[in-house]
Chains A and B, each alone.
Chain A
Amino acid sequence: MYNVLEAENVCKSYLNKRALQGANLTIQQGKILGLLGPNGSGKTTFLKIAAGILHPSSGKLLIDGQEPGVYTKSIVSYLPDTEYLFKWMKIKDAVQYFKDFYTDFDEKKAFALLEFMKLDANSSVKSLSKGMKEKLKLTLVLSRKAKLYILDEPLGGVDPTAREKILDAIINNFSEDSSMIITTHLVNDIERIFDDVAFISDGEIVLQGNAEELRLNKNKSIDELYREVFQ
């Protein structure tokens, strides 16, 4: 069992704001980690560093033993919490776009997932509702054969039925030779799919552990624990 991601004392400041203050975190191969914290706790900053979009101000973050760069980007599939699909695109153009960009993109899988999500390849991106857009983004990200999937708020602003579909897609497409890191503040809906959880508060990991052991030792659900840490 090796660590796909290792973060040691990672700090990040924006001018005078310190977004990360020495975050330590590891993710093992074959595990799903929930990175849990309220808005502004540093979740997205951490993920952006792992995705190679931001550089840490200090500290070290390694993915598959390497610093974020060309290699790590080739094995990390990242779902950002922002819009990145062009409005003029049809869904099938977006699939083509990903196929051109990533050598590990599996087009067949993408079309199978679109069908599962009940998305029509001929609809245009700008006609999609928020939930449908989220489903499309997830389809694209899960259709890569990556070692590490980084999903930033995959359930954000999505209604409960769409949430179920998204959860199903994540469970169905997770393979034991990859790993996942998922951020959310909707802990209740998703806590059963985490192997490990890490609570992040003010740019620091304040609690990390195996979800089942935390339940056993604290006699609480992860959701209750979350409320306790962030009350």
Chain B
Amino acid sequence: MEFEFDDKMPIYLQIMDHIKMDIATEKLKVNDKLPSVREMATILKVNPNTLQRAYQELERLGIVYTQRGMGTFVGERKHMIDDLKQEMAKEVIDSFILRMKRLGFNEEEIIESISKNITEVKKNV
């Protein structure tokens, strides 16, 4: 697991996002075991308390669960993958819309530019 941190943002939130992403894209599947806090801390070169906090928050959200003495696992919450995808898609779209508005586009223009570009992207993929 290799990724670049943006030190301007809380580290635990970035770790949470990364794990959510891995679950949404099914790199991590239901009941897969996550690396231990210590392992992950060493890999990412991050304070173990920060990792602990990320895991605790994920558990609070029902995304992972902990089994005493066994470790932390991907949860079985219903529709979790879809929910995570929706949640992350919303973040991408919200920030996109915000930036387009800052550029001076109004709502119709935003929609128009999306439908125009989506066909172009399709050609290129």
Contact = CB atoms under 8 A, between A and B. Distances in A.
A215 B47 contact: no
Interface residues of A, number: 26
Contacts of B44: 192
Contacts, number: 58
Given A192-B50, A212-B50, A168 B8 contact: no
A76 B85 CA distance: 49
Contacts of A221: 6-8
Interface string B33-55: 00000100110111111100100
B47 A194 contact: yes
Interface stretch (B9-17, B20-28, B71-79, B95-103): B9-17
A193 B10 contact: no
Interface residues on B, range: 10 to 19
A212 B10 contact: yes
A109 to B, nearest CB: 15
A164 interface: yes
A31 B49 contact: yes
Contacts of A216: 9-10
B7 A212 contact: no
A215 B8 contact: yes
B5 interface: yes
Most buried by A among B5, B38, B46, B48: B48
Interface string B91-115: 0000000000000000000000000
Contact of B48 (A171, A188, A220): A171
Contacts of B53: 212
Interface string A202-224: 00000000001101100111111
Contacts of A31: 49
B49 A195 contact: yes
Nearest to B8: A221
A228 B92 CA distance: 31
B46 A193 contact: yes
Nearest to A189: B45
Contact of A193 (B5, B7, B45): B45
A172 B61 CA distance: 28
Nearest to B49: A195
19 contacts: A32-B47, A171-B41, A171-B46, A171-B48, A172-B42, A174-B48, A176-B48, A191-B7, A192-B7, A192-B44, A192-B45, A192-B46, A193-B46, A195-B47, A195-B49, A195-B50, A212-B10, A215-B7, A221-B6
Interface of B: 5-12, 38, 41-42, 44-50, 53
Interface of A: 30-32, 164, 167-168, 171-172, 174, 176, 188, 191-195, 212-213, 215-216, 219-224
Given A168-B42, A176-B48, A212-B53, 9 more contacts: A168-B45, A171-B41, A176-B49, A192-B7, A193-B47, A213-B10, A215-B9, A215-B11, A222-B7
Q: Which 4 A-B pairs have the closest CB atoms?
A: A221-B7, A212-B10, A193-B47, A192-B46
